[in-house]
Structure 1
Amino acid sequence: MKRTDDTASPPPAEDVRSLYPFLYSDSSDADSVLDQIRRSTVDKAREIVALRESMFARDGSRLLECAGAMARRFTGGGRLLAFGNGGSSTDAQDLASLFLSPASGPGGTPPPLPAFGLTNDIAVITALSNDIGFDVVFARQIAAFAKPLDIAVGLSTSGNSTNLLRGLDEANGRGLLTIGITGYDGGKMAELDGIDYLFVVPSPSVHRVQEAQTTLYHVLWELVVEHLAERVKP
C-alpha cells in the first residue's frame, strides 16, 4: 500500500546530516559519494589526533603523577573500582579488565591487579535502582565494600550524572584515591572538591570524547604497570 505524506519518514535531524552528509546527498555520482566519505573519515581522524595531542600536552605530567599514586595504592593492597553509565559503563568495564587481565606485550605479561566494574552485577544494579533509586547504584556499592586504600575511577562524557557524582563523593569520604574522566567542559564533576585527579577531554563531540578517553585510560594503565615494574626491580 502506498504511503501518504502523513506517514512518510521525517527528514533526518540537521546534526545527523552534518555528521554524515554523503548519506543524504542528492547526487548519484558514486565517485563523489566515495570522495565525501574519504574526506569525512580523514577529517575525523585529524580531529581525534589533534585532540589527543593537546590533551596529553596539557595533562601528561598529571597522568604520570596519578599513575604513581595508583601504583602506591596497588602496592599497599588496594583495588580499582571503575564505574559509569551507558557507553561509559562499557569503558569502565574495559578499564577494569585492563588491570585484571592484562594483555602480553614485548616485555611479557604484566601481573594482574584487582579491579572491578561496578556495573558488572546486574542483580545489584537493578535491586538498588528498584528498591532505592538509580542515583545510589555506585555510592551504595562503594559504601558496602570499598577500603581506604582502594581507587575509584568515574567515567562520564558530560560529567553531570548524579549517580557518578554521588559515587565519587562516597569514595572521597572513605579515603579512596578518586579519579574522574569526563568530557566537554567537565560538567558538575569539575565542581567537586573531592576528586584527586580530574581529566577533561575538551570536545563538544561525544564521539571524539569517548575515543580520547579510551586512549587516556589505556595510557594510565601502561604508566601504572611501568611504575610497578620499577618497584620490583632488584
Structure 2
Amino acid sequence: MTATDLVALYPFLYASDGELDVLLDAAVRSTVAKTAEITELRAELARRQGARLELCARQLAERFAAGGRLLVFGNGGSSTDAQELATLFLHPDGEHPALPAFALSNDIAVMTALSNDVGFDVAFSRQIAAFGRSADIAVGISTSGNSANLLLAFEEAARRGLMTVGIAGYDGGRMAQLAELEHLFVVPSASVHRVQEAQTTLYHALWELTVAAFAGRHPVPEPFDPRGSD
C-alpha cells in the first residue's frame, strides 16, 4: 500500500486543522443522514410487514410448541446473522424460555466436506435432508435473495414439510419467485449496509414476537430454588 492509498483511506490522519474541520463536518452530516435513512426504513418495514411478522411469529410458536426446531442458515455476513438468531432462541433470560435452534453453518467439518465433495450449493439442503423434521422451521437470510444454496435449502425444506421463512434485501431476488417460501420479508433498499441493519432489526422483532407468543402458551416456570420452601 502506497502513501497515496493511506491518505485516501484515512484522510483524517493527514489533514491540517482546517481540513480536519471539513472532514469531521462531512462525517457528522453523513452519520445523521444514514441514521435518518435506517430509521425510516425500519418504520417502513413495520408499516408494510408488521402484520405478517406477527402472523409468522404465531406460526413459529405453534411449531415450537409441537416440538419443532429452528434451522437457520446464510452465507458470509448473513451466516453470522443466522448464528445470532439461533443464539437468541437458545438463550433464556428469565422471561423467555430456551427454544431449540441451530445455525447450519456452525459445523465447519460438515460445511467443508459437502462443499469439497459435492458442491457448495448443497451445503444447507443436505443438512436439512439429514436433520429436518416436518415440525421444524427453516429460516434463510440473504442480502441479495439470490444465493443458490438457500434456494435449494428452501426447496428441500418444503418437500419435508418444514415451515419456510426467507429474509432478503433489494427486491427479494430469486427468493421472491420461490413458490416454496411461506413467508418472505424483503428490506427494500439499494444499500447493502441499510439492508443488513434492517434485517437485524427484523429478525430481532421476529424473535421477540415468537417467544412472547410461545410464552403465552407455555409460561416460563419459576427458577429452581435448591433451598426449598418452608
TM-score (norm 2): 0.88
Cα displacement (A) at 1:32: 1.7
Partner of 1:191 in structure 2?
Answer: 177
Alignment counterpart, residue 179 of structure 1, candidates 160, 165, 170: 165
What SS does the corresponding residue of 2:139 show, helix, strand or coil?
strand
What SS does the corresponding residue of 1:64 show, helix, strand or coil?
helix
Partner of 1:61 in structure 2?
Answer: 51
Give 5+ residue unaligned stretches, structure 2.
220-230
Q: Distance in 1 between matches of 2:85 and 2:34?
A: 24
Aligned: 1:163 with 2:149: yes
Q: Distance in 1 between matches of 2:79 and 2:215?
A: 29
Aligned: 1:128 with 2:114: yes
Q: Distance in 2 between matches of 1:34 and 1:10?
A: 18
**Residue pair 1:180, 1:189 contacting (<8 A) in 2 also:** yes
Identical aligned residues as a percent: 61
Shift in CA distance, 222/33, structure 1 to aligned 2, threshold 3 Å? same
TM-score (norm 1): 0.87
Partner of 1:151 in structure 2?
Answer: 137
Cα displacement (A) at 1:95: 0.3
Q: What is the one-letter code of the residue matched to 1:29?
A: E
Partner of 1:117 in structure 2?
Answer: 103
Cα displacement (A) at 1:30: 2.1
**Residue pair 2:12, 2:20 contacting (<8 A) in 1 also:** no
Alignment counterpart, residue 101 of structure 1, candidates 72, 91, 95: 91
Q: What is the one-letter code of the residue matched to 1:155?
A: I
Cα displacement (A) at 1:35: 1.0
Q: Distance in 2 between matches of 1:174 and 1:11?
A: 55
What SS does the corresponding residue of 2:201 show, helix, strand or coil?
helix
Count of aligned positions: 218
Q: Distance in 1 between matches of 2:6 and 2:44?
A: 39
Q: Distance in 2 between matches of 1:133 and 1:27?
A: 54
**Residue pair 2:96, 2:212 contacting (<8 A) in 1 also:** no
Q: What is the one-letter code of the residue matched to 1:127?
A: A
Q: Deviations over 1:63-112 (max 9, x none)?
A: 0000000000000000000000000000000000000114x3xxx33110
Q: Distance in 1 between matches of 2:205 and 2:190?
A: 22
What SS does the corresponding residue of 1:29 show, helix, strand or coil?
helix
Alignment counterpart, residue 48 of structure 1, candidates 28, 38, 48: 38
Shift in CA distance, 72/23, structure 1 to aligned 2, threshold 3 Å? farther
Cα displacement (A) at 1:9: 4.9
**Residue pair 2:122, 2:152 contacting (<8 A) in 1 also:** yes
